[in-house]
Amino acid sequence: MIDTRLAIRGGPPAVQCPALDIFDWPIITPEHEQAVLDVLHRGAMSGTDVTVQFEEEFAAWQGCDYALGCNTGTAALHCAMFGSGVGVRDEIICPSLTFWASILQCYSLGATPVFADIDPVSLCIDPGDIEHRITDRTKAIMVVHYVGHPADMEPIMDIAHRHGLKVIEDVSHAQGGHYRGRRLGTFGDVAAMSLMSGKSFAVGEAGMLVTDDREIYERAVAFGHYERFDARIQTGYLRPLMGLPLGGQKYRMHQMSSAVGRVQLKHYDQQCAEIRKAMNYFWDLLEGVPGIRAHRVSKATGSTMAGWYNPVGLYVPEELDGLSVTHFAEAVQAEGSFCLPGVNKPLHLHPLLNSTDIYGHGKPTRTAHSLYDLHQPPGSLPVSERINSRTFRIPWFKHFRPDIIKDHSAAFRKVALHYKDLLADDPGNPAELGGWHFFKRS
Ligand SMILES: Cc1ncc(COP(=O)(O)O)c(C=O)c1O
């Protein structure tokens, strides 16, 4: 007789196929090794020749006029903020559900984050929760295409145009993705992204800024790229300042990263296409299973999930008699798959965004410069605060290997269909779910 018990109850795990290379990332070949060795043997680690080549190729791929390589995504976003003119007493509207580097750098510019809630289906900023937060100090909207899903750019751009705001896109989770047929990172005034090795576009420690706006590009250069802040700069008010970085930062990309990036670029679109095939297959197999929903875009819209960075599912506990996502995920893990409850913790609940006086202003840094009471207490962003009990992380398949993917989807299906066996000893969710960052997967 077939033993159909859940693995957490002593039954056989659903995942029987070995994972092989299906989760390995990045895919490094002798082509990468040779590119890095060339940099090392030339002693060119600190130059910019390879970086400039990478920037030119990246800009052509992205479809933009300027690309600026940085040593991290955090640095690229810092440059994008300064490039957009964010300064003292300005406000940036940003989703609370994101990694801290979408926004925290604005403190060092004397600016203030203002958080908007997210849409519970896309997990990106809710365009309907932006406009009422705009004040005469709002300078920019920071849009994050969160865990691969494109944000709803049409209404966001409409709001920005009507209020004369800059739009910065954080494309760290969605390099190469599309919204209604158009490349992410080409909607706003400027975009910036992480290319660290956990991302789908995995280079090492690196970041990239892209824009069509010459002044934004030159301000970004002036902020953290001292050796390129020279006679090539055309923006009149920047020219007398040439030679020293305005931000006191050194944000140059390491050329071993640039070399890896050039090779990655050649293969990235094709690798993403395979990831999308694999991830869509996983979700297609789970269509109609109660309690779980795909976090993905419909093909018919012309939008794509790019490399499907850190994929997640949406959890509907009401369909499973209130079973906690924590216990659900434990049971899936026992079946031999990967599942963790929650995503990022909402930033507005951390002390750094509330009470902490970092620089000695004598008041919380969050509001050290602001003219308004911008405090956002618990309860102020209900969707963001609830979302960790309604999301779970899923396996990130890098190859289309149907037999392996079938086993993993069977693990999720089995747990969802046997949920009643888990209700009696469900400990519920802990007080806090999710993390300030995503730790590395197995
Ligand atoms: C949404 C988001 N923005 C910015 C960053 C910062 O990038 P980096 O780690 O390359 O500094 C990351 C990731 O690390 C991120 O996930």
Structure confidence by residue, pLDDT tens digits, 381-405:
999 999 999 999 999 999 999 999 9
Neighbours of 202 (CB within 10 A): 23
Q: Reduce the DSSP state of residue 293 to 3 states and report it.
A: strand
Q: CB-side exposure of 50: number of CA atoms within 13 Å? A: 24
Q: How confident is the model at residue 7 (pLDDT cuts 50, 70, 90)?
A: very high
CA 296 to mean position of chain CA atoms: 15
Calculate the alpha carbon distances from 404 to 16, 278, 349, 387, 397 in Å. Answer: 8, 10, 39, 29, 9
169 touches ligand 1 (CB under 6 Å): no
- Mean pLDDT check: name the lowest of 74-78, 298-302, 357-361, 379-383: 298-302
**Backbone torsions φ then ψ of 392, nearest 5 degrees:** -150, 150
- Give 309's contacts (C-beta < 8 A, 6+ positions apart): 147, 148, 172, 173, 174, 199, 200, 396
Q: Hey, how many other C-beta atoms are within 10 angstroms of the C-beta on 133?
A: 16
100, 196, 249, 439: which to mutate for ligand 1, most atoms within 8 A of CB?
196
Report CA(91)–ligand 1 centroid distance (Å). 21
Instruction: Give the model's pLDDT for residue 441.
Output: 54
The owner of tokens 């750098």 is 105
Query: Would you say the CB of residue 72 lies under 6 angstroms from ligand 1?
Result: yes
Pocket test for ligand 1, best of 143, 144, 172 (most atoms within 8 A of CB): 172
Ligand 1 centre to CA of 72 (Å) is 8
Q: Lowest mean pLDDT of 57-61, 166-170, 361-365, name the range.
A: 361-365
Alpha carbons 78 and 72: distance in angstroms, whole number: 10
Ligand 1 neighbour 74 (Cβ under 6 A): yes
Task: Read off the pLDDT of residues 94-130 as tens digits, 9 standing for 90 and up.
Answer: 999 999 999 999 999 999 999 999 999 999 999 999 9
Reference 223, options 109, 141, 52; nearest CA is 109
The pick from 70, 72, 74, 205 for probing ligand 1's pocket by mutation, whose C-beta has the most ligand atoms within 8 angstroms, reads: 74
Which helix (H) or strand (E) covers residue 36, if one does? helix 30-42
In this prediction, residue 137 carries a pLDDT of: 95
Please report the pLDDT score of residue 442 as a whole number.
Answer: 44
The pLDDT tens digits for 251-296 are 999 999 999 999 999 999 999 999 999 999 999 999 999 999 999 9
Q: Tokens representing 85?
A: 């003119």
Cβ neighbours, 10 Å, residue 230: 12
pLDDT in tens, 348-378: 999 999 999 999 999 999 989 887 878 899 9
Average pLDDT of span 206-234: 97
By the 8 A CB rule, do 153 and 187 touch?
Answer: yes
pLDDT at 278: 98
Cα 212 to averaged position of ligand 1 atoms, centre (Å): 22
- pTM beyond 0.85, yes or no: yes
